[in-house]
Structure 1
Amino acid sequence: MRFKESSFILLILFIYIDAANILALFPVKLKSHYSILDTITTELASRGHNITIISSFPKSKKPNITVIDVSECITLSDATFSIDKFLKIKNLFSIIYVLLNYTNYFNEVFSCEPMQRLLNSSSTFDLHMIHIYNSNVMLALKKKFQAPHIYISVGSLMPWSTEIMGSPDNPSYISYPNTDYPLNSLKSTFFQRLYNMLGYITAKLLFHYYLFTDGQRAAKKYFNVNYSQIQEYAKNTSLMLTFSHFSINTARPLLPNVIEISGLQIKNASSLPKEIEKFINESEHGVIYFSMGSLLKSETMSEAKRKAFLHVFSKVPQRVLWKWNNDTLPGKTSNIFVSKWFPQRDVLSHPNIKLFISHGGALGLSEAIYEGVPILGIPIFMDQILNLKIIESQGAAEILEYTDINEKTVLSKIELILKNNTYLENMKKMSMIYKDRPMSAMNTAIYWIEYVIRHKGAPHLCSAAVDLPLYQYLLLDVIAFCTFILITLLIMFYYCFKILIKFARTKSKLKRLDLKKRK
C-alpha cells in the first residue's frame, strides 16, 4: 500500500514539473557502472525530460535521449582489468592502479569530436548529472553550461565523495571501501582501525593529486579552469545519489542531500530465454549461478583454477550457469550451461537458483540480496572484499580467496552453504530489511533529481561544512582557545595557590615568632 501511495505522490509532483533539459556526463568506460547510470536516464526520459548523454556505450535511439558517443576516442579497454593483473595489487592501493590506467582519459574525452561539437553548440541545460568515479574534472563543463549539478556514485561512498558533500566520514567506525574490515562493531582491533585510516588518507591524497596533475591539465587546456575553480564548483554540489544501503554497507550518518539508491536497477523479473528457463526448470536439485561480473573475465583465471571448478561442478548434483566470455569452455560437463551473457536479475529471481558465486560487485550483490540467494564470494579488488565481508558477517555468505581456489576448497565451501539452511535463512532476513523502504530506489532517485530541478539547485540542502577549512571543521581553533584558557586558569590557580601557601606559611611563622617573644 505504501508503494502505491508513494507512486501517486510522485505522479502528482510530476504534473507540476516542466520537462527539463539534462546533461548526463557518463563517459567512463565501465559497463557495470554505465548500466546503473543508463537506468536513471532512461527513467527520466520516460517521464518527459530531455536527456543528452556523453557516453562510451552507444545504443539505439530512444525518445527524449540524445547520445554523444565518445567511445572511439577512449583507449582504455576491458583488457586492463584482467583477474591476473588485479591479483598483483593489494586492496588498499588498488585505486592507484585504476587511476594510473586513466592517464590521458580526460584529454581523450574533451578532445573527442562529438564532444567538441557539443561544446561549440548553443545548447543550454537545467541540470548536470555527473558520474563521480575518480575526479571532479567533469565539473569544468560548468563554465560552458551554467547549471546546478548532482553526482551519482555507483558504489559505496569514497572519502572524496563525503568530503565534497561535507558529510561525516570518521574512519574510526566508517570503513574505507578498499579496506578489508567492516568497522561495524566493537570487535574492530587497533590495527584494523589503523589500516582503515591509512587507506582513507591515501585515497584522499591520491584523489587530489590526480585531479591536480592529469585532470587539471585537461581542464585548463579546454576550459581555462584551474584547480581552485573546480573545488568551488564541487562545494556547490546539490545532491549525491549513492549506490548503497544501510542493510548492506552498514549504517552511517548522511546529510539530507546524500541519498542511498542501492537496487535502483531492480525491476519486476521478466521471463527468461526459453533455453535458459528449460535448463533451470529441469534441474532436480537446483542451480548454481556463477558470474564474475561484466569487467572481470572468468576465462582469465588460471587453468588449474578453472579445472578445480569444473571437477567440483561435475560432482555436485546441481546444474550450473556459468558466465563465460569465450566461445568454448574446455572440459565442460553436461550439467554446465555457459553463455557470454545472462539476464542476471531474472536468473537470480528464479526459485531454483540455490547459490550465487560472485566476485562481490555491488550490482550483483544487491540483486542476490533482493532475491534472498546465498553467496559464495571470490573478491578480486576495490570494494569487493568489504562488500562480501559485511554479508559474511550476517551469516549469508562465505568468502573464498582466489589464491586459495582448488578442488577441495571449492567443494567444501559450496557444500557448506547448500547443506546448511542457515545461510538461506539469514539471506532471507537481509532481503526483508533491504526491501522494506517507503519508496522504491528508482522513485527515490527520480524524486530527488526533480526536487533539485524544482528548487533551482536546492542550495538549502547543502551543509555549511563544505565551506569550512579543516581546522574549523575539526574545531581545532576552538579546542586550542579552550585549551589556552584552561591552561591559563590552571597557571593562575597554581600561582595563586602558591602565593596563598606562601602567605599562610609566612603568617604561621610570624605567629610562632610572636608566641616565642611573649614567652
Structure 2
Amino acid sequence: MRLKHLFLVIFYFVVYCRENESYKILGIFHTPSKSHYIAGGALMKALAEKGHEVTVISPFPQKKPLTNFRDVSVLGIEKLLDELFPNITDMESMGVAEKLNLTLTFGVIMANFTLTHKVMQNFLSTDNVAYDVIVMQIFMNEAFLGIGHHFKAPIVGFSSFGASKWTNDMVGTPTPMSYVPHIQLKYTDRMTFFQRVCNVLAYVGETLYMDWIYMPKQAKVYNEIFPDPKPTLDELLRNVSLVLVNSHFSLQFPRPYVPNMIEVGGLQINQTPKKLPTDLQQILNNASHGVIYFSLGSNVKPKNIPSEKQQEILNAFRKLKQIVLWKWDDPLVPGKPDNVFINSWYPQDDLLAHPNVKLFITHGGLLSITETIYHAVPVIGIPLFADQHLNMAKAESQGFAITILINDLSEATLSTAIAEMLNNDRYAKKIKLMSDRYRDQPLTPLETAVYWTEYVARHKGAPHLRSAGLDLSFFAYHSFDVFAVLFVAIYSVWRLMKFLFRRIVLRLWRKCSTNEKKNQ
C-alpha cells in the first residue's frame, strides 16, 4: 500500500507541476481606445496572477506596478485617432464604402506608427526573452504578425469585437453571407432577399478592397520593418495558432466556428463586483426612484456632441425623477439639472451591478452590451460607428433595447424612449432571460481565455487545431473545381447518350424503312 501511495503522490505532483507550469507571455495591444484594451488587459493581468511572466506592449501602462507584469509603453497613438477622426460622429453620415476605406487607412497608419516607434524598435532589438506565446490584439494590424516570427513564438489573436474578416481569415472560420450580417450593416441574421443582396455586396467589396489595396499596404509595412529572411505576410496570416473573440453565442447570432476560434465574450466583467467609491455608493443607495447611467464610450469626445444636442439631452433628463450619472469629460452647457451628476470616469461594470441602476444609455459598443446583459440592465442605444449599429440591431431584435440614431436624438425622442423603457417591464424581463442564458457557462470567460492561452503554450502552438481549409485555394475551398469537373462529366455523358440515342434511333428507322420497302 505504501508503494501505491508513493506512486499516487508522484503522479499528482507531476500533474500539479504541469498544470502550474509558468510561461513567458507577450501581449501586444496597440489600440488607441482604452475600452478595447480593457478586455485584453484583463486577460494579461489574469495570466500574471497565475504566475506567468507577462510583458505587455500598449499605450496604457498600469498606474500601480503588478507582480509578474512588465509594461512597455508605446505612447502617442491616441493623437492619430484625433487627427484622422476629428469628429467621430461624422461617420454616421458616411456610406459603407467610405467608412471601410477610412477605417482601413487608419489601420495601416496605426500599424506603421507602432512598429516604427522608438520604444518598439528598441524592444525588438534588445529584448531577448524566449516567449512561449504572444497574445496579439487583432484589429487592422496584420504587419504585427512579424513580431511572432521575430520571437519564434506562436500567436494567439485577441479580438475586442466578435468574429470578422480580420480574425476569420487567420484560422479559416467560415462566414455564410446568407445569414451572417456584415459588421458595417444594421441587419440581423434574418435578412430579406434585398438585405442579403446588400450583405453579399458588402462582403465582396470588403474582400476585394482588403486583398487588392489594404493587405499590400500592410505587407509593405511588414517588409520594411522586419529583415529577411522571413516568410511572406500571407503565410504568417494563415498560421495563427488560435483566436479569442469577444462574443458568446447567447449574445450574438449563432454562427459556425473552427476549433481554434474561441468565444470569451465578457472576460473583463468582474464576477464579484468591486467596491464602489464612497460618494458614488451613497448616490446609488439613496436613489429612491432608481438610477440611469449614460456613457458614449471612450472614443466620443465632448466636442463631438454639439451644444444644442447637449441641451436637448439635459431637457429630457430634467423631467425625470431618476438620478442620471453621465460619463462626460468636459463641463456641459449651462443649465444642468440637480438630478444629473457628471464625471469623467465611472467604474461601469461595477456600477451596472448595483440593483438601483434601471437603465443604461450607451453607444452600443460590444463591451458595454456584454456588461449590460450580464447585469440585466435594459439599454437605449445611440450607435455612432464601427460595429455599434450591428450590436444595437441585435439588441433590438432580442427585445431588450431601443435605438436612437444620433441625427434623430432630441428631447422628444429621448424622453419617449426612456418612458417606454421605465414603464414597460418587457425589456427588463427580456434582458433578465438573456442574462440567465449568458451566465450559464461551465467556466467564466476569463477562465476560458486563460485556459486556451496556456493550451497553446503547452502544445507548442497547437498545430493540430489548424484547419486544412487554410491551405486550399478559393476555388478548391468552395469545391468549384469539383463542380466544374462534375458538370463537364455530366455534360459529356449527356452528349454521348444523345449521340448514341440518335445513332440507334436512326439505325432502327432506316432498318424499318428498308423492311417496309421490301414488304411492298
| 1:233 is aligned to 2:239 | no
Paired residue type of 1:156: G
Q: Cα offset for 1:13? A: 6.5
Q: Distance in 1 between matches of 2:108 and 2:166?
A: 19
Q: Is the 1:160–1:204 Cα contact (8 Å) retained in structure 2? A: no
Q: Distance in 1 between matches of 2:253 and 2:228?
A: 38
| 1:247 is aligned to 2:250 | yes
Match of 2:9 in 1: none
Q: Distance in 2 between matches of 1:298 and 1:156?
A: 28
Q: Percent identity among equivalent residues?
A: 33
| 1:19 is aligned to 2:22 | yes
Q: Distance in 1 between matches of 2:77 and 2:248?
A: 35
Listed one character per residue, the Cα deviations across residues 236-275 of structure 1 (whole Å, up to 9, x for unaligned) are: 1111000011122211111111000001001111222122
Listed one character per residue, the Cα deviations across residues 173-197 of structure 1 (whole Å, up to 9, x for unaligned) are: 11121111012x3xx2122112112
Listed one character per residue, the Cα deviations across residues 452-500 of structure 1 (whole Å, up to 9, x for unaligned) are: 1111111001100011111110111111111110000111111111122
Match of 1:3 in 2: none
1:397-408 equivalences under 5 Å are 397-408=401-412
Q: Distance in 2 between matches of 1:295 and 1:279?
A: 26
Q: Is the 1:73–1:112 Cα contact (8 Å) retained in structure 2? A: no
Q: Any stretches of 5+ residues in structure 1 without a counterpart?
A: 1-8
Please state whether the residue corresponding to 2:250 is helix, strand or coil: helix
Match of 2:198 in 1: 195
Match of 2:104 in 1: 99
Q: Distance in 2 between matches of 1:51 and 1:124?
A: 12
Listed one character per residue, the Cα deviations across residues 5-60 of structure 1 (whole Å, up to 9, x for unaligned) are: xxxx9x97675342111121212222111111111111101111111111111223
1:241-320 equivalences under 5 Å are 241-267=244-270, 268-298=272-302, 300-320=304-324
State which drifts further: 204-213 or 174-183.
Answer: 204-213
Q: Distance in 2 between matches of 1:94 and 1:480?
A: 37
User: Closer, same or farther in 2 for the Cα pair 1:105/1:97, shift >3 Å?
Assistant: same
1:356-371 equivalences under 5 Å are 356-371=360-375
Match of 1:437 in 2: 441
Q: Any stretches of 5+ residues in structure 2 without a counterpart?
A: 1-11
1:333-372 equivalences under 5 Å are 333-372=337-376
User: Closer, same or farther in 2 for the Cα pair 1:43/1:329, shift >3 Å?
Assistant: farther
Q: Cα offset for 1:425? A: 0.4
Q: Distance in 2 between matches of 1:271 and 1:67?
A: 26
| 1:448 is aligned to 2:452 | yes
Listed one character per residue, the Cα deviations across residues 119-170 of structure 1 (whole Å, up to 9, x for unaligned) are: 2223321111111101311011233211111100111111232122111111
User: Closer, same or farther in 2 for the Cα pair 1:49/1:436, shift >3 Å?
Assistant: same
Matching residue within 175, 200, 217 for 1:169: 175
Listed one character per residue, the Cα deviations across residues 355-404 of structure 1 (whole Å, up to 9, x for unaligned) are: 11111000010010001111111111111111111111111111111111
Q: Distance in 2 between matches of 1:82 and 1:13?
A: 53
Paired residue type of 1:76: L
Q: Is the 1:91–1:180 Cα contact (8 Å) retained in structure 2? A: no
User: Closer, same or farther in 2 for the Cα pair 1:218/1:380, shift >3 Å?
Assistant: same
Q: Is the 2:139–2:166 Cα contact (8 Å) retained in structure 1? A: no
Please state whether the residue corresponding to 1:246 is helix, strand or coil: coil
Paired residue type of 1:207: M
C-alpha RMSD of the superposition: 2.1
Please state whether the residue corresponding to 1:101 is helix, strand or coil: helix
Please state whether the residue corresponding to 1:289 is helix, strand or coil: strand
Q: Distance in 2 between matches of 1:299 and 1:13?
A: 55
Please state whether the residue corresponding to 2:46 is helix, strand or coil: helix
Q: Distance in 1 between matches of 2:404 and 2:45?
A: 37
1:365-514 equivalences under 5 Å are 365-514=369-518
Q: Is the 1:58–1:71 Cα contact (8 Å) retained in structure 2? A: no
Q: Distance in 1 between matches of 2:303 and 2:109?
A: 29
Q: Distance in 2 between matches of 1:46 and 1:338?
A: 34
User: Closer, same or farther in 2 for the Cα pair 1:34/1:125, shift >3 Å?
Assistant: same
State which drifts further: 195-204 or 126-135.
Answer: 195-204
Q: Distance in 1 between matches of 2:253 and 2:413?
A: 29
State which drifts further: 451-460 or 26-35.
Answer: 26-35
Q: Distance in 1 between matches of 2:442 and 2:353?
A: 22
Match of 1:4 in 2: none
Paired residue type of 2:402: E
Match of 1:51 in 2: 54
Q: Cα offset for 1:426? A: 0.5
Q: Distance in 1 between matches of 2:336 and 2:277?
A: 21
Q: Distance in 2 between matches of 1:302 and 1:83?
A: 12
State which drifts further: 297-306 or 308-317.
Answer: 297-306
Listed one character per residue, the Cα deviations across residues 182-229 of structure 1 (whole Å, up to 9, x for unaligned) are: 12x3xx212211211222223333333455443323222221369961
Q: Distance in 2 between matches of 1:82 and 1:294?
A: 13
Q: Cα offset for 1:329? A: 4.5
Q: Cα offset for 1:91? A: 4.6
Q: Is the 1:17–1:454 Cα contact (8 Å) retained in structure 2? A: no
User: Closer, same or farther in 2 for the Cα pair 1:366/1:76, shift >3 Å?
Assistant: same
Listed one character per residue, the Cα deviations across residues 338-357 of structure 1 (whole Å, up to 9, x for unaligned) are: 11001101111111111111
Q: Cα offset for 1:312? A: 1.0
Q: TM-score, normalised by structure 2?
A: 0.92
Match of 2:114 in 1: 109
Matching residue within 133, 137, 146 for 1:131: 137
State which drifts further: 71-80 or 415-424.
Answer: 71-80
Q: Cα offset for 1:87? A: 2.8
Match of 2:89 in 1: 84
Match of 1:141 in 2: 147
Q: Distance in 1 between matches of 2:230 and 2:407?
A: 42
Q: Distance in 1 between matches of 2:66 and 2:82?
A: 26
Paired residue type of 1:466: L
Q: Distance in 1 between matches of 2:88 and 2:479?
A: 45
Q: Distance in 1 between matches of 2:303 and 2:208?
A: 35
